[in-house]
Amino acid sequence: MDLDKKTDEDLMVLTQQGNAAAYEVLFKRHDRAIYGFLLRKTRQPEYASELFQETWLKVHRGRHTYRQGQAFRPWLYGIALNATRDAGRQASRRVDTVELSIDKPVAAERHADRLTLEQAIDLLPDTLRDAFLLGAVHGLDHREVAEQLNISPDNARARISRARSFLRDHLGKHA
């Protein structure tokens, strides 16, 4: 069975059936994206690492709560998002910032632009940042973003749009 060719949803069903290799394929397929999401959410590498572990442990422990046919990525990001919402933990954490490193080969000018964008994302209000990260950066559709944030799809679309407008203004970019 070539697990690499299977969809996320098929792999998750196999994971539910106890297939550890399927879980690892899912992990390796999404680990960097989930870490990127958590790092941009928290801006604290150690905290993001802690939440990363918590997220993947919960994927394992909560595998029986995944419903066949359910889109995997929104379910996964829902678990990650929920991990960041633990109020008891957030309350005791110091707000800090960290500069994200971009390891992909990009031109120097692009690198600079992307770092500027990172800094601007950090300035977004939480409500806009969550919608922007989930929808624009991680590719969830408006309905999926809405479900994760408990808002309407129209509201999700509006938040992403407002976030983009904020970022354009901050970067001095206009259509």
Chain contacts with another protein (rule: CB under 8 A): 20, 23-24, 27-28, 31-33, 35-37, 39, 45-47, 49-50, 52-54, 56-58, 60-62, 64-65, 78-79, 82, 85-89, 91-93, 100-104, 106-107, 109-110, 112-114, 117, 136-139, 150, 161, 164-165, 167-168, 171, 173, 175
The least distance separating another protein from the CB of residue 151, rounded to whole angstroms, comes to 11
The least distance separating another protein from the CB of residue 87, rounded to whole angstroms, comes to 5
The least distance separating another protein from the CB of residue 99, rounded to whole angstroms, comes to 12
Q: How big is the CA angle at 42 (ends 33 and 54), to the nearest 5 degrees?
A: 65
CA 97/CA 123 separation, integer angstroms: 11
Closer residue to another protein (CB): 1 or 101: 101
Closer residue to another protein (CB): 30 or 153: 30
Place of tokens 């969830």: 140
CB atoms within 10 A of CB 116: 15
- 133 alpha-carbon distance from chain centroid: 6
The least distance separating another protein from the CB of residue 67, rounded to whole angstroms, comes to 9
Closer residue to another protein (CB): 6 or 27: 27
CA 82/CA 87 separation, integer angstroms: 10
Q: Do residues 81 and 21 touch, judged by C-beta distance below 8 A?
A: no
Question: Helix (H, G, I), strand (E, B), or coil: what is residue 44?
Answer: coil
CA 16/CA 35 separation, integer angstroms: 23
The least distance separating another protein from the CB of residue 103, rounded to whole angstroms, comes to 5
